[in-house]
Amino acid sequence: MKIIAFFLAALPLFSCNFFSSEQAEGFSNSGSAPKHKIDSLSLPKAVKYSWLKTGDYQTSTALVNQIPLPQGYERQTAASGSFAEWLRFLPLLPKNEKVKLFDGKEKNYQAGAYRVVNIDIGKSDLQQCADAIMRLKSEYHYSRGEFDKIHFNYTSGHKVSFDDWRKGKKPLISGSKVSFSAASGSTDNSYSNFQKYFRNIFMYAGTASLEKELKPQKLAELKAGDLFIKGGFPGHAVLVMDVAINKKTGKKIFLLAQSYMPAQSIHILKNLKHNTELSPWYPEDFGETLFTPEWEFSQSSLKTW
């Protein structure tokens, strides 16, 4: 569990606990999607994944090259250098890889996971649902040197930015009070310092704080990088990883990913409820409620940055 120093921050420990495995396994999954050829796209030069060692990335493992489209769909255009493009080329682990917990054990419920993203979990119970999304968003900006765009609010409402953090201006927590140290006069842009930053965010932020930072998004304007989020105690969040459009009808489908509680592998979700022939893709016209394997969201829970 997250070990947290001040009030409210302890509550997000329960933010990813809703459906039981038995409920999730009760969803129907009637068949495989009718698919056509898998894309074979090259990694754009500007796309980088800082947690991987040099030479470890293989374009063939990219989400876009691993998850095929149903017949008649084409991927939504993603602007060069965008978060959507960055998500599309995230590396996936081999097909037989299981969802792991932070302690190395396999998650008990595997039926809702389609594929596992090749990104570390950490060795503490920190990178849960909203944390995983904040991690991906901040990794994207870090890879582009956009340090001023990496900032999140604590559950207490205090804004903590990596731009300040790298300059030595750190949050000081005493009970329910938060203050900040003076800048140190030196700057540390290293990846190890960045890791310390987002682990700190994981401890003191969650679905409740993140939801307040986001803007409502219309379903008709859905794009990769948006998220469905229910802030609170409990709460949960899933990230839209990719979007495709039916060339005849104009209807969209989308992929979702999550971490959960306890901290675990970020994984692409199966669609076990809505027109399951499309799975792992979800249809835009899912109705009033979006059912994912371990949570449900209303249409109004769709948000954007």
Chain Cα centroid distance, residue 83: 12
- Which residues lie below 8 Å from residue 202, measured CB to CB, with a gap of 6+? 2, 126, 127, 128, 131, 134, 135
291, β-bridge pairs? 296
Phi, psi for residue 60 in degrees, rounded to 5:
-65, -20
Hunting for tokens 């569990």 — which residue is that?
A: 1
> Cα separation of 91 and 116, whole Å?
9
The residue type at 94: P
**Per residue in 7-38, pLDDT tens?**
344 444 445 644 433 334 333 343 444 455 56
- Average of per-residue pLDDT values in the chain: 89
Where are the extended beta strands (E) located within the chain? 73-75, 113-116, 151-153, 159-161, 171-174, 177-180, 215-216, 227-230, 236-246, 252-258, 267-269, 282-283, 289-292, 295-298, 302-304
Question: Residue 301: helix, strand or coil by DSSP?
Answer: helix
Which among 217, 261, 288 has a CA at the least distance from the CA of 126? 261
> Cα separation of 201 and 101, whole Å?
20
pLDDT at 35: 52
CA angle, 183 then 188 then 193, to 5°: 105
> Cα separation of 304 and 220, whole Å?
13
DSSP 117: B
pLDDT at 16: 63
**Per residue in 265-302, pLDDT tens?**
999 999 999 999 999 999 999 999 999 999 999 999 99
pLDDT at 12: 40
Q: Which residue has the higher pLDDT, 120 or 2?
A: 120
- Which residues lie below 8 Å from residue 159, measured CB to CB, with a gap of 6+? 151, 152, 153
**Per residue in 184-221, pLDDT tens?**
989 999 999 999 999 999 999 999 999 999 999 999 99
Contact 284, 251 (CB under 8 A): yes
Hunting for tokens 């489209």 — which residue is that?
A: 69
101, β-bridge pairs? 264
pLDDT band, very low/low/confident/very high, at 95 (cuts 50, 70, 90) = very high
pLDDT at 174: 87
- Which residues lie below 8 Å from residue 158, measured CB to CB, with a gap of 6+? 171, 178
How would you classify residue 166: left for phi > 0, otherwise alpha for psi between -120 and 50, otherwise beta?
A: alpha
> Cα separation of 259 and 20, whole Å?
15
pTM above 0.85, yes or no: yes
CB atoms under 10 Å from CB of 194, counted, come to 21
Question: Residue 123: helix, strand or coil by DSSP?
Answer: coil
Taking residues 113-129, report their average pLDDT: 97
